[in-house]
Amino acid sequence: MIGGHVSRKLSVIRFSSDILNLTRNRSLNREIFGVGEMNAFKNQLTFAQETKLLALAAWQRALENLELRMDCPDAYHDELLRQSDEMDRLGILSWDEWRDLRRQADVAYLRAVAGDDYH
């Protein structure tokens, strides 16, 4: 149990640091892709909006992780729940959004356990 607790803490730390790194690098990415020079897209999103989009994109990538879903549906489900809980803890999501992500995670888990990926 201790190993699982440590692993879960490391996953939460990794997810939080990934979100922070993505948001810190946004200005660099804008320079690389030339977006910083385009007035049409300048400062369209607030920091909170961009952080939320990045976090939801990470959650969506986890949802679409076919390899983990097929190999270990329990770990797949735990990862989706962990990420949604972390977004809630950081204040990124409203309660309704958090609930919806958890429901999607539950539906995806049930489909994985039923073997939908193998048909």
Parent domain of 95: 2-118
Q: How many C-beta atoms surround the C-beta of residue 107 within 10 A?
A: 10
Cα separation values, 1 from 7, 32, 72, 105, Å: 10, 44, 18, 23
Q: CA–CA separation, 88 vs 75, rounded Å? A: 20
- pTM over cut 0.75: no
Sequence-ordered list of residues with C-beta below 8 angstroms from that of 110, at least 6 positions apart, any chain: none
What local confidence, expressed as pLDDT, does residue 117 receive?
A: 79
User: pLDDT tens, 16-66?
Assistant: 666 666 655 555 555 555 555 555 656 688 899 999 999 999 999 999 999
Domain count, the chain: 1
What local confidence, expressed as pLDDT, does residue 45 receive?
A: 87
pLDDT at position 115 over 90 = no
Average pLDDT over residues 67-75: 94
What local confidence, expressed as pLDDT, does residue 44 receive?
A: 85
* Selected residue with higher pLDDT from 27 and 70: 70
Closest by CA to 55, choosing from 10, 95, 85, 28, is: 85
Give the burial class of 23: count Cβ atoms within 10 A of its Cβ; 0-12 exposed, 13-18 middle, 19 or more buried: middle
Would you give the distance in Å from CA 94 to the centre of its chain?
15
User: pLDDT tens, 85-103?
Assistant: 999 999 999 999 999 999 9
